[in-house]
Amino acid sequence: MNHIRLKPASLLASLALPMVAAPAMADFFADSHAKLELRNHYLNRDFRQDNAPQAKAEEWGQGFTAKLESGFTEGAVGLGVDAMGQLGIKLDSSRDRRGTGLLPYGRNSLEPADDYSELGLTAKLRASKSVLRLGTLQPLLPVVVYNDTRLLASSFQGGLLSSQEIDGLTVNAGRLTKANLRDSSSRDDIGYGAASSDGFDFAGGSYAFNPQLSLSYYYGKLEHIYRQQFVGLVHTLPLAEGLNLRSDLRYFDSRGDGAERGGQIDNRNFNASFALGVRAHKFTANLQQMSGDSAFPFLNGGDPYTVNLVTYNTYTRAGLDSWQLRYDYDFAALGVPGLSFMTRYTDGRHAKAGAIDNGRERERDTDITYVIQSGPLKNVSLRWRNVMFRSGNGLTTALDENRLIIGYTLALW
């Protein structure tokens, strides 16, 4: 797919082009749908460590994401097309407050961009219960997870085949060649850290033995950088009415591949998450253990599929053992539907980084979210997220952070 940069005035109009040129097939149009996602995001990050390059990072922006998904043409082999247009607009920022991940900035000028945009097109082909997609992709798989934590979401370019021909079995396989980061209008070669690759190949699937138990396996290879295997098990155990226990076990084995352009990769990553739901309450305990000589690798533009991925930190350094305690509450139980609360504390120790052999990282996150239930602003979500992160034993990052996020999704048809 070729990169297309759009001006704000022409972004949404361009999304209609694939539909104008599409065959006049009933299912193609009748099964199509479109939506507009709006996200207003303010982020204030106050650095507390000595000799920080910036006293704070503070930016405010408005994001628009329009998504159109067609149906398929009639017949044994159906054709379709999807389109996604993204536009981010700066509301407030400056050279000395840049770097929140909301806005791109000039490499030399360091000035945050006034706006940035992206258009992604995806061709799709369906036969039986299998679908092949070519173009812009946003996969949610253990070996590749796109990022959606700022104004605009990241995306990848490539091909993805998804199949459900056997009951209970879902199979995915594909190849990615480009990545569009969350705060960028460019499509860069797929890579990890400073190293780039010609492509990332992956395959795997999950099998549901029953509604309560599923097993997954995936394999991924970033050419000449790393190869990775994943095994996962998810089990839900109903204990009583309004009471259930969900167990999520994940294991990754990551090694170097070929020329090892990203340096030595040697990591084993075990994750375990246990969540107890008690009516409106949910109590979660997570464990994550790293072994091997390197950090846990994952694609640029993506997130690690790990239980201790939290708001600021990923807890993926070499040797880092971490745990998390989390509590969620739904205020609908008290007669306030739409209001929810979350708080968690994550602590990691024994991190290795250069000459550091026992680094420590800890983070506390608190979210309060309200979704308006009625009136002209129905379904508008309001979220306040507060973060405290500290590191020690040779690691020196310390920060306090607040995020205010307003979101709304408008169904166009």
- Quick: pLDDT tens for 279-301: 999 999 999 999 999 999 999 99
Q: Which stretches of 241-320 are assigned E, i.e. beta strand?
A: 243-256, 266-278, 281-291, 302-303
Reading the block at residue 400, the tokens are: 């306090």
Coil, strand or helix at 170:
strand
Question: Do the Cβ atoms of 82 and 68 come closer than 8 Å?
Answer: yes
pTM: 0.91
| CA gap 321, 401 in Å, rounded | 24
Mean model confidence pLDDT for the chain: 93
> What percentage of the chain reaches a pLDDT higher than 70?
94
Extract the tokens encoding 312.
Answer: 């600021």
Cβ-count burial of 214 within 10 angstroms (0-12 exposed, 13-18 middle, 19+ buried)?
Answer: middle
pLDDT digit string (tens) for 51-84? 888 899 999 999 999 999 999 999 999 999 999 9
Q: What is the mean pLDDT of residues 216-232?
A: 98
Q: In the predicted model, what is the mean pLDDT of residues 195-219?
A: 98
> CATH homologous superfamily of domain 128-307?
Porin (2.40.160.10)
- Segments making up each domain of the chain, as ranges: 1-127, 128-307
Among the listed residues 118, 60, 111, 66, the one whose alpha carbon sits nearest the alpha carbon of residue 89? 60
Instruction: Say if CB 180 and CB 156 are below 8 A apart.
Output: yes
Which sign does the torsion angle of CA 270, 310, 301, 260 carry? negative
| Structure confidence by residue, pLDDT tens digits, 327-365 | 999 999 999 999 999 999 999 999 999 899 999 999 999
